[in-house]
Chain A
């Protein structure tokens, strides 16, 4: 039995910088408390989410403590001052510190402050007021992270590499023509699912739908069948794959179209 398409995951570098902060930069996630015991472990949760949602090289407090034993007392001495926190970030070789602050002013005040280590300045800050005892879920935390980080940090990428059995075949990824085989790896936004079509006259079109994880390369082995041969999707397992693909494609479409329409980007014009 011959498999027409095989998927393989390998580590890949993706998301080239274009003047935006390096999406792979080292970011230390540190927690600063202004006398509040609320939101226990919030820093560790934020670090875990960043690892999951971005390509950043995340250093959490526990990791930082291993090489910098006095980090907590030094951080406390900084009292939230950006230049001081930046110096601590430098000691753990971070390019940036995401300072997660927890204070109480009646409500619990949760702040996220991005501090650039090189300049010692806060480049963005988000503050949220929460009711005492509130336990924000991961979705809420992710929403706040999206607000404090540059959008390019959340623009994660994957790579699709088409390994076709025939040269000169036209390749379309997600409905966009990408050229002819042999084709250089195609960088795409991830995580996402893409419809892939590899077509050449005299051959049955190869069609597949692949899920591309972030920071990964998906290799699609496209075996083109000459017309008249029984194509790969004519076999029972081919039909099963197509059914699964169709369901997946619909779900993907819903996510992609409803997301951007719900969020309105806000821009302050030059002043």
Chain B
């Protein structure tokens, strides 16, 4: 069996180059643990022998390119299992594991996980008006992106991951506020989740879109907050999704609609019994982030079962699955002088082999604009009162996860000994993008995409602007945006 690695020609996007020191072939037979073989890459132009595979045994095939420091530089995977024989040729689209965030007014934000914040090109963008959701196809070759066109109008576009340029084809119109997006493993159907009373799913024929034609079907379900693909032919839609900070048991219980894609109709509905904040799917299993139950849960949809905990996670609000591992993001509340903090946990699908990473307490700085001094300034450091990780993507390679968080920060008014206000009461709302390396517990990227606040008047120091933390990359006012959704090439959501 030979493997062709297809890399972008643009060196700014290609994962090859002098930094690639190792190539690892990862194969996984259904029901078996993954097997990996690594070879040093001295000369990419001479190819590599990667051992043997058993003839005829279907396996998932993936290739990882790593630097000498083990950083994942490129990844490619077969979207469907491969049956090895001597004549089999497997073509893998190898890409840098980029992360994409929607929500900005004029571009899809790009984050290159192979680079550090100080490197050129780490934070970039793909010019597109008002993207609200994106998803990569399972072969890593394309990005499906939904943009808003004003009001409740939206459009679906295709972008090449090799060039970050639009692919010739149709811009498919979609009606309704879009909340989420998923693509089937065969890359033929995009399943668009629509919010609002007339919400549901829109099934877009991507083969037709590539030919410049428009072919869509709609499934009316009500307000859909998230969508995931189950198996090869079904989607699950989360209705009454919770967007609360942690648990809000006054919210209605969520439910799951199971939709048969070939029939474009709802097959069944499952009452989840509690407000659910996020869903993910792997094979025929659905995973739920249950903030009030304090757990990441597994749910069988055929036949419908009851949610069963995979692992406990306080205030779980986001879930993702990648490479057979289930990831969850939750929050630990304020404790003493420490602010709230994000907790990441992962395990295999049976809840074994669990790891937990507690990120440092989140802080923000409010900088006084009233105080004038050549070499001095007044900043108030505020611990997070509430945090909400609301989007989670596990990157290929098993060690990096990207997430979006919303934070609420509150600082009481400060008074002098006579009771006169010196520093006003401050409230800040922030949104951040984080890239976390689980093995080292390090925050690799921390980008604040949005910060806004209010300060009560009457104090000596009454006017503030958002400052920045030492480890934080921030956007200027005109560029700030509230991120909506994350995706990653070969990443699991």
Contact = CB atoms under 8 A, between A and B. Distances in A.
A263 B55 CA distance: 6
Interface stretch (A1-9, A21-29, A121-129, A195-203): A121-129
A267 B49 contact: yes
B34 A264 contact: no
A175 interface: no
Most chain B beta carbons < 10 A, residue from A125, A129, A271: A271
A265 B52 contact: yes
Contact of B45 (A105, A124, A262, A270): A270
B33 A266 contact: no
A261 interface: yes
A51 interface: no
Given A264-B53, A271-B7, A271-B44, A147 B37 contact: yes
A148 B48 CA distance: 13
A107 interface: yes
Given A271-B16, A271-B44, A265 B1 contact: yes
Mostly, the B contact residues are strand
A169 to B, nearest CB: 39
A124 B353 CA distance: 26
A13 B46 CA distance: 31
B51 A266 contact: yes
A270 B37 contact: no
Contacts of B3: 266-269
Given A106-B352, A147-B51, A264-B54, A124 B33 contact: no
Given A123-B40, A125-B38, A268-B23, A263 B53 contact: yes
A151 B51 CA distance: 9
15 contacts: A106-B352, A121-B40, A122-B22, A124-B39, A126-B36, A130-B33, A151-B49, A261-B55, A264-B1, A265-B49, A267-B1, A268-B25, A268-B47, A269-B5, A270-B44
Interface of B: 1-5, 7, 16, 22-25, 33-40, 44-55, 63, 84-86, 88, 94, 347-348, 352-354
Given A106-B354, A124-B39, 15 more contacts: A122-B40, A125-B36, A147-B37, A147-B52, A266-B2, A266-B50, A267-B47, A267-B50, A268-B3, A268-B5, A268-B23, A268-B47, A268-B63, A270-B45, A271-B45
Interface of A: 105-107, 121-130, 146-148, 151, 261-271
Q: Which 4 A-B residue pairs are closest in the complex by CB-CB distance?
A: A106-B353, A125-B38, A129-B33, A263-B52
